Structure 1
Amino acid sequence: MTPLVHAEQAVLGAVLLEPGQLDRLSPWLRPEQFSRPAHTAIYAAMLKLKAGGHPAAATGAGDPVPLAWVTDTLREANTRTRGLTASYLHSLASACPRPDHASVYGRMVLEGAIHRSVAQHAVRLHQAALADGRAGTVEETLHHTQVLTAVLTDLARGWGTEARPVQPPATYAPRAERLQPVGEQVLADEEYLLGCLASRPEQLLGLVRWLRPGDFADPGHQQIYRALGALHHRGEPIDQLTVLWETQRRGALADGTLDAERVRRICDPLVGGSAEHFGEQVVQASLVRTAASAARQVSALADRDALAPGQLIGYAMHALGPLDDVGRRLRHAHEAEPEPRQPVSRPGAPPPAARVDAARARSRVADPTAHRPPPSVARPALAARPNHRSPS
């Protein structure tokens, strides 16, 4: 039997021995916070009898407890579950070391309930992410993310702590996860998006605000997107060769993440289309993957009994931080208006006016009088020639 079960038995036994302990427990300890259905039924029966004005509930410490308190509790609890006997209630009373420590035992029950609730909602979020990943949707993932966040906030309020993210120490840092298999449709969407951006780089202006390299599932696609962004940021031409050169400069060819043939194939200039739709698809897939990873981290934290509830809540909210970031960027993608089309940089095309101004500002301005002849040798102005026309 676990320490949590011992704590549940002790707090119930304390109330059986001293019903007045309910005055200190009822404001914050709820029946559903017990792990065993029988314990939930017994505590709910006690609360109902107290609310109905049972005489035993008014007894103080040291006063004799009417036998009706045990029998009435048993009868009411049996309406909620089956199999309870009077001998089990007597064993609960025997399991209580000190009835006046009921609040401490109740806090143990609440602590176990917090760990259990966080774990349950993390599992539901993980299941929703897996289902959305198969269906290509995000609705269930978004819903269960909101539910888990609300649960953590409510648990923090009930425990009396502040609901804020706290970075866990290195001992609680998540372990490196195995790369999860990615669907072929996700990879196809990523490749088509990169092809659209390579053929029409002006579309990057509308995507860079909410699309990040980490949203791509394939490491090679991440490097190509970084290369496109760097070229576009510097105002340099974008084509198959410039992207290939940039990926080489970033070491993506040397470490085997990409090869030249793959880069040229993805950046095929014949690929065309709107990047907005495929950009949203990439961010949605990133949201689902991030949710699954965050859910696994929260579940692992909830399994650590050594974590105090305040620590568990803070660490869990920190684990959900990347998920909140992807969700926020996905909302921006839905709300973003189409950007005005900008001229595409082409080899030999004149640079934009802003780049011309910047280049002039960096250049050394020549002295306008450096090559002007001195006044002494200045050439006189030419007089206007008279118009000599032969007489007709």
Structure 2
Amino acid sequence: MSPLLEAEQAVLGAVLLDPGQLRQLDWLAPEHFHRPVHRALFAAVRKLHANGHAALAADTSVPLSWVTDTVAEAGRHVRGLTASHAHSLISACPRPGHAPVYGRMVLEGAIHRSVTAHAIRLHQAARADALQGDVEGSLRCADMLREVLSDLARRWGTEPRPVDPGTPPAPTPSAAPPSGWATGAEEEQVLLGVLAERPKGMEEVVGWLRPADFADPARGEVYRCLGALHHRGEPIDRITLLWEAQRRGLLADGTLSRDQLAAICDGVGPGSAEWLGEQVMRSSVTRTAAASARAIRALAENEALAPGRLINHALHALSPLDEVRTRWQAANGRPAPNPPAALPSGPPSAQVHAALARSASRPISPPSAPSGSAASSAAVRPPSRGHG
């Protein structure tokens, strides 16, 4: 039996033995339990507690009706539940007074499961958008995942903020997409040809399109060369582009070849740089969403990762998608959505009051004051308080 299952049994056994423990578990919800029967039982005790069951008024032993009524209420939602199962939960609880600790174990398991499920959903939405030429599903799932992370942070008692895990648990967004992924390679090739043939098109895309938005790193480097020539105000054609690639060492290290550059410059056809750039950006959004989803899922499947760190690392894994999303909105002439409101956080009010007291203006000693006046001036200074 897994430790998580034992924790679920223990917290249920604790509230069946001592209904008063529910007052310390208001942050725990039925959906945080993994097993359906456990979810039904916890929902039942919460309902009976809210309705003022007679067991709550017991001064000594808890009446048997508390257990039988709980089983009857839970049995309306799951099948096969008997009183013997409830008594087995009671026997599985070592200490009813440890219910809050058992509850945090249950919540920790729920956090990992919930983050994993939403990461899978985000990846599926990104895959569907890539095949359909859309991004809205990916962005909706990303927003939902962010809201879930904020809610889980509130329940866990931590401040949701992006924190770099140090070593990426999954490939970066610029990594090659999985096999069968719609990459938009044709649009990338045509866009580079249009920009090489009609350099004025750079003005239409340079503000929001980046080399990392190209699925093929080699084509991304060609775009970087075009951007460098445009930035310096130098002419752009097949020769200058080849020269810039050579100066950057792209020919020497095998990133590009003369034939690849010739195919880009000579294979140009009609096309709008802005429209083609938007297609490349759309592919970049879905690809980045999928990479963020893979990174978050890898984090969530690490059972050794504490919930607070998991939440903050997952928020950091969404940061590349936020950056690409902002540029996607700019490419379409739409303002980026307002960032989600931060959860209320900050030091306790007593610490705020102490900080304001220390910040208050102090009387200035007159120039003629004796040297010993420093001590008297310090006497009126509000005492410092530690930030425990």
TM-score (structure 2 length as normaliser): 0.82
The structure with the larger Rg is: 1
SS at match of 1:281: helix
Matches within 5 A, 1:23-42: 23-25=23-25, 27-42=26-41
Matched-pair contact (CA < 8 Å) for 2:129–2:137:
yes
| CA-CA distance at 1:58 after TM superposition | 3.0
Q: 1:115 aligns with which of 112, 125, 128?
A: 112
Partner of 2:170: 174
**SS, match of residue 217 in structure 1:** coil
User: What is the aligned-residue identity percentage?
Assistant: 58
The answer (yes or no) to whether the contact 1:122–1:296 under 8 Å persists in 2 is: yes
Q: Structure 1's 270 and 55: CA in aligned 2 closer, same or farther, altered over 3 A?
A: closer
Match of residue 54 from structure 2: 55
- When residues 269 and 85 of structure 1 are mapped into structure 2, their CA distance, relative to the original with a 3 A threshold, is closer
The offset of 1:233, in angstroms, is: 1.0
Q: Report the equivalent of 1:157.
A: 154
- 3-state secondary structure, aligned to 1:267: helix
Higher mean C-alpha displacement, 41-50 vs 174-183: 174-183
Output the aligned Cα RMSD.
Answer: 1.8
Deviation at 1:251, TM superposition (A): 1.8
State the distance in 1 between where 2:54 and 2:89 align.
21
Determine whether 1:287 maps to 2:288: no
Match of 1:351 in 2: none
**How far apart, in 1, do the equivalents of 2:87 and 2:334 lie?**
66
- The whole-number CA distance in structure 2 between the counterparts of 1:18 and 1:33 is 20
Deviation at 1:173, TM superposition (A): 4.2
Instruction: Give CA deviations for 1:280-335 in whole Å, capped at 9, x if unaligned.
Output: 11011011111111101100100111111110000001111111111111001011
Consecutive unaligned residues of structure 1, counting only runs of 5 or more, are: 338-392
Give the CA deviation at 1:53: 1.5
- 3-state SS of paired residue (1:161): coil
Q: Kindly tell me: are residues 225 and 48 of structure 1, through their superposed partners in 2, closer, same or farther at Cα, counting changes over 3 Å? A: same
Partner of 1:22: 22
Residue pairs, 1:1-392, within 5 angstroms: 1-25=1-25, 27-59=26-58, 63-170=60-167, 173-174=169-170, 180-181=178-179, 186-268=184-266, 271-335=269-333
C-alpha distance in 1 between matches for 2:206 and 2:58: 69
- How far the C-alpha of 1:185 sits from its partner, in A, is 6.6
Aligned pair count?
333
| CA–CA separation in structure 2 for the residues paired with 1:20 and 1:297 | 41
1:255 CA drift (Å): 2.2
Give the Cα–Cα distance (whole angstroms) in 1 for the partners of residues 75 and 191 of structure 2. Answer: 62
Q: What one-letter code is carried by the residue in structure 2 that aligns with 1:227?
A: C
CA positional deviation for 1:181? 3.3
Q: 1:184 to 1:114 in 2, by over 3 A?
A: closer
- Partner Cα distance (1:46, 1:13) in 2: 11
Alpha carbons of structure 1 residues 185 and 152: separation in structure 2 relative to 1, 3 Å: closer
Once the two structures are overlaid, the 10-residue window that deviates more, 146-155 or 35-44, is: 146-155
What CA distance in whole angstroms lies between the structure 2 residues aligned with 1:311 and 1:185?
33
Q: Which runs of 5+ in 2 are unaligned?
A: 336-388
| Alpha-carbon separation, structure 2, partners of 1:320 and 1:185 | 21
**In 2, Cα distance between the equivalents of 1:128 and 1:104?**
36
Which 4+ residue blocks in structure 1 deviate beyond 4 angstroms?
A: 175-179, 182-185
Q: Matched residue of 2:89: which SS?
A: helix
Once residues 336 and 36 of structure 1 are traced to their aligned partners in structure 2, the CA distance between those partners, rounded to angstroms, is 44
